């Protein structure tokens, strides 16, 4: 399951995500759930941002399956190679719990929410828009299943 804050605005990212979701349907029961992004005024204060993240975190917690392992996508998390990521998916599958990836909105994820998760995962030291991050994550999931299968997609 991929729990995301906010909708994909650009058509090309929505199309890319849909394509990887289609390819992933061969391998897993993928569910992508979008949580509305809290609205903020122009130039919000740090406190206003944190309050909005807190509300989004509540909405995220309400959607989490009771038995789940949660990976939060965040720039300061741990980076893994595609092979390591494939093993991570395998481990989660072995646990019998639902694997849930969290992707925050433009201000990321609530600190409290991130503290409690199984894995804090970073894809890059670079900051990417969360829309593009969703496409990158879905591509890595697809690649991860291909690696597990010993397929030729991965190089």
Interacting residues toward a copy of itself by CB under 8 A: 10-13, 15-16, 19, 79-82, 85, 106-107, 123-129, 132, 135-136, 139-140, 143, 154-155
CA angle 109, 141, 113 (to 5 degrees): 20
CB of 83 to a copy of itself, least distance (A): 9
Phi-psi region of 18 (alpha: psi -120 to 50; beta: other; left: phi over 0): alpha
Pairing of strands 2-5, 68-79: unpaired
Min separation Cβ 89 and a copy of itself, Å = 13
Dihedral of the alpha carbons of 4, 7, 9, 13, in degrees to the nearest 10? 40
Q: Which is nearer to a copy of itself, 113 or 140 (CB)?
A: 140
Nearer to a copy of itself, 83 or 91 (CB): 83
- Shortest Å distance, C-beta 88 to a copy of itself: 12
Shortest CB 40 distance to a copy of itself, Å: 12
Q: Starting at the earlier edge strand, list the strands of the sheet with 98-103.
A: 32-35, 2-5, 98-103, 68-79, 119-122
Whether the Cβ atoms of residue 30 and residue 21 lie closer than 8 Å to each other: yes
Q: For residues 16 and 35, which CB has a smaller minimum distance to a copy of itself in the complex?
A: 16
| Residue whose CB is less far from a copy of itself, 20 or 60 | 20
């Amino acid at each position: 399951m991929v729990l995301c804050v906010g909708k994909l605005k650009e058509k090309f990212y929505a199309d890319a995500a849909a394509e990887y979701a289609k390819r992933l349907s061969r391998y897993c029961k993928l569910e992508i759930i979008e949580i509305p992004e809290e609205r903020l005024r122009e130039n919000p204060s740090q406190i206003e941002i944190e309050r909005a993240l807190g509300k989004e975190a509540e909405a995220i917690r309400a959607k989490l399956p009771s038995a789940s392992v949660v990976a939060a996508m965040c720039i300061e998390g741990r980076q893994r190679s595609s092979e390591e990521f494939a093993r991570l998916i395998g481990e989660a599958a072995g646990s019998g719990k639902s694997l849930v990836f969290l992707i925050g909105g433009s201000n990321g994820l609530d600190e409290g929410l991130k503290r409690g998760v199984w894995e804090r995962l970073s894809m890059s030291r670079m900051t990417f828009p969360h829309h593009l991050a969703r496409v990158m994550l879905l591509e890595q999931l697809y690649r991860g299943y291909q690696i597990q299968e010993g397929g030729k997609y991965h190089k």
